[in-house]
């Protein structure tokens, strides 16, 4: 009897095995197409939005306390804008939190919401709840880190994720319009900037180092004129030593350009110059972060070119984000100009796609850290 059961069991096992073997043999084989070796890539494939939307994501507009929050919200939604800079605060700064929430709600990706909270004379937020210690008051990198962390926390609580600080220009003369805004010692300013950026980052805020390659030690203010620097190419690394040191050691996630003219280097202002933005920053210093222009409505630029023309020139030169702080009404004209230029120039279209990739990477990182 035992032998009989054993034979039956053996036949069942053989049958089950045969069933699964035949089923597997008859299953369809997936149609797998391998890429050609020369086109294979390990980089992520990026899906680009329509050109006008992609360009909108590279624009940052200004918002004032006396402007309706809804008007800025509508522009973000209509033009798919990538950023807003808060130019002035309401009487109750806590109101800013409702602005930023409304703006983020209509943005398809994390919106860059910025402010100029340098401390000292350039402090958009004032009052007992905000530390307005200026950079010139700091003596050590430890102090810079602590202030950066504290300031970052103050901004993050309002929904602000980008601060246009620290200032890495150098000014030793009290007659310079930058004097009260910079670190006290040029030789340690790169270290101080690195510490302040690290402190803000710990609080979830991106510090934007400015204004590359540094304003001269004069009273000429790019808000009203185009300052001229007579340094040559061979002297540039010494002139801009704090920036060169920082970018070669601990490059920040973003930096802002200066509206300056170096006539012995290039005939175009730095913000519009392929030499400064591509040759020096991207190639020589191998900077991979986001390049943001200073406001394109400042007299240093808009007395030479219209805002749309200058914006096309700046993107062509290597800028990633165009700042339209004083003239948000220029958005439509800038988008139209860039779309028209990019449709006629494949190289410019590629530049726009490169910038979109960098900005999206920064936004994605902020989204993960929130």
Residues annotated as catalytic are 223, 294
The two structure tokens encoding residue 290: 């986001």
Backbone angle region of 323, left / alpha / beta, with phi > 0 → left and psi within -120 to 50 → alpha: beta
- Between CA 310 and CA 270 the distance in angstroms is 12
- Spell out the residues 6+ positions from residue 206 whose beta carbon is closer than 8 angstroms to its own: 161, 162, 163, 200, 253, 254, 362, 366
Give the HSE-up count for residue 171: Cα atoms under 13 Å, Cβ half-sphere. Answer: 24
**314 and 322 Cβ atoms separated by less than 8 Å:** yes
- Spell out the residues 6+ positions from residue 298 whose beta carbon is closer than 8 angstroms to its own: 222, 223, 259, 326
In order of 113, 151, 319, the CA distances from 107 in angstroms are 11, 25, 22
Backbone angle region of 232, left / alpha / beta, with phi > 0 → left and psi within -120 to 50 → alpha: beta
The two structure tokens encoding residue 341: 């230029």
| 272 Cα distance to chain centroid | 17
Please name which of 298, 360, 324, 362 lies closest in space to residue 59, comparing C-alpha atoms: 324
Largest CA distance in the chain: 111
- Between CA 208 and CA 210 the distance in angstroms is 6
């Amino acid at each position: 009897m035992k032998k009989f059961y054993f034979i039956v069991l053996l036949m069942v096992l053989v049958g089950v095995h045969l069933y699964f073997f035949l089923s597997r043999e008859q299953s369809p084989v997936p149609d797998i197409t391998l890429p050609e070796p020369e086109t294979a890539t390990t980089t992520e494939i990026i899906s680009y939005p329509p050109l006008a939307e992609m360009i909108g994501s590279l624009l940052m507009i200004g918002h004032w306390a006396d402007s309706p929050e809804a008007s800025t919200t509508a522009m973000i939604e209509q033009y798919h804008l990538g950023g807003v800079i808060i130019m002035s605060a309401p009487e109750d700064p806590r109101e800013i939190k409702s602005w930023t929430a409304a703006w983020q709600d209509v943005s398809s990706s994390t919106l860059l919401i910025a402010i100029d909270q340098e401390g000292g004379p350039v402090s958009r937020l004032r009052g007992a709840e905000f530390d307005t210690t200026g950079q010139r008051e700091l003596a050590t990198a430890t102090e810079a880190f602590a202030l950066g962390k504290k300031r970052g926390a103050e901004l993050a609580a309002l929904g602000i994720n980008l601060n246009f600080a620290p200032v890495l220009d150098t000014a030793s003369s009290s007659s310079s319009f930058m004097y009260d805004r910079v670190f006290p010692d040029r030789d340690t300013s790169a270290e101080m900037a690195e510490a302040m950026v690290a402190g803000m980052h710990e609080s979830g805020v991106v510090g934007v180092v400015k204004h590359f390659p540094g304003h001269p030690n004069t009273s000429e203010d790019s808000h009203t004129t185009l300052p001229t620097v007579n340094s040559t190419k061979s002297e540039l690394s010494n002139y801009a030593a704090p920036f060169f040191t920082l970018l070669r050691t601990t490059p920040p996630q973003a930096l802002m350009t200066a509206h300056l003219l170096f006539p012995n280097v290039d005939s175009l202002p730095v913000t519009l110059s392929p030499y400064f933005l591509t040759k020096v920053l991207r190639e020589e210093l191998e900077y991979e972060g986001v390049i943001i222009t200073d406001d394109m409505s400042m007299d240093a630029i808009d007395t030479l070119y219209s805002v749309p023309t200058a914006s096309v020139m700046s993107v062509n030169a290597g800028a990633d984000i165009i700042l339209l702080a004083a003239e948000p009404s220029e958005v439509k004209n800038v988008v139209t100009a860039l779309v028209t230029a990019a449709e006629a120039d494949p190289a410019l279209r590629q530049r726009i796609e490169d910038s979109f990739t960098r900005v999206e990477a920064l936004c994605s990182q902020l989204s993960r850290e929130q």
